Amino acid sequence: MLIFDAHLDLSMNALDWNRDFRQTVAHIRAREKGKTDKPDRGNNTVSFPEMRAGNIGLCVGTLIARYVKTSNPLPGWHSPEQAWAQTQGQLAWYREMERQGEIRQIRNLSDLDAQLKQWPEERHTIGYILSLEGADSIVSLDHLDMLYDAGLRALGPAHYGPGTYAFGTDSSGGIGEKGRALLEAMERKNIILDATHLCDISFWEAMDHFNGAVWASHHNCRALVDHNRQLADEQIKELVSRGAVIGGALDAWMMLPNWVRGKSTPKAMGATLEVLIDHLDHICQLAGNSKHIGLGTDLDGGYGTEQSPADLDTIADLQKLPEMLSRRGYSDEDIAGIMHGNWIEFLRRVWK
């Protein structure tokens, strides 16, 4: 079955992790054997061949570069201009992969329809929608214009910690004047607001000030794992009321309570793809249907098999999900929606 994965940090892996995504996962793992500079070295799960093997013909690919002020202990760039330059390097990688025929950018309905038509026949060139995770690299609203012209179609104002335009995970605060101006500019351009990572205060202020299309590309449920990174039930209900789709994420600490990073293991904790379905099902119960869930795996988001479901070796194993969903009582129509259809219908509505 065709899969639409709404959150992959492809360019970050290519440039920051120095991974050639044209190679197999096995090749990348072998080349990283013995390296310890990143916690997931030798454990990666994503590459273009594995995406093709798993019939993942559509995805959202990110740009990401955090700007950190002197008081912010998080890793990141020391000026917005440096962060901007990093995103431009990432964008250059996407462009080169396009020239090599590996990927195709999706900017509008015509592009989307062309990808859906061509993918079953060729099953090679992966369609991607460009998103920005954390807006700190936007030096000015003129820079947002440049990103839009480059194909940016979704934007999450915050990532981890305090940001220029909003507060993110593990921080607290509102969107402020700059955040409101950013949201207004996004709304004028029909850029999708990605609610992922917004702290509670920023989330609700963004909902009050933004009247455009909203999704949550990679989020799980606070009712099952009590952490501010997760969506509370009232947030889920708000997103559902706005026609959003919420993508289930596969970072194990977001799937199960009491996960200890660097110590817990997926097998010992019982982290499997079935647990992801628990989160998706919780959203369905609140929504009353399956129209608001999808996949936003974040499988290359700075972790690998050491922090992924135990029954997933590579991203191609997402093809296990349709049978699992069927055993849970989901209909064929529901399953097709979860695997790809809900995201596609969202874009058809937003881009019409």
User: Is residue 251 within 8 Å of residue 303, measured between CB atoms?
Assistant: yes
* pLDDT digit string, tens, across residues 117-141: 999 999 999 999 999 999 999 999 9
pTM here is: 0.98
* pLDDT digit string, tens, across residues 251-263: 999 999 999 988 9
pLDDT on residue 138: 98
Binned at pLDDT 50, 70 and 90, residue 71 comes out as confident
pLDDT on residue 37: 95
pLDDT on residue 52: 98
Boundaries of every domain in the chain: 3-351
- Name the packing angle between helices 176-189 and 200-209 (round to 10°): 50
Q: Mean pLDDT, to the nearest integer, of 327-331? A: 98
Rounded Cα distance between 333 and 263, Å, is: 39
* pLDDT digit string, tens, across residues 177-188: 999 999 999 999
Rounded Cα distance between 44 and 26, Å, is: 9
Determine the straight-line distance between the first and last CA of the chain, rounded to whole angstroms. Answer: 25
pLDDT on residue 72: 87
Q: CATH classification of 3-351, choosing from 3.40.640.10, 3.10.20.30, 3.20.20.140, 3.30.450.20?
A: 3.20.20.140
In eight-state DSSP terms, residue 284 is H
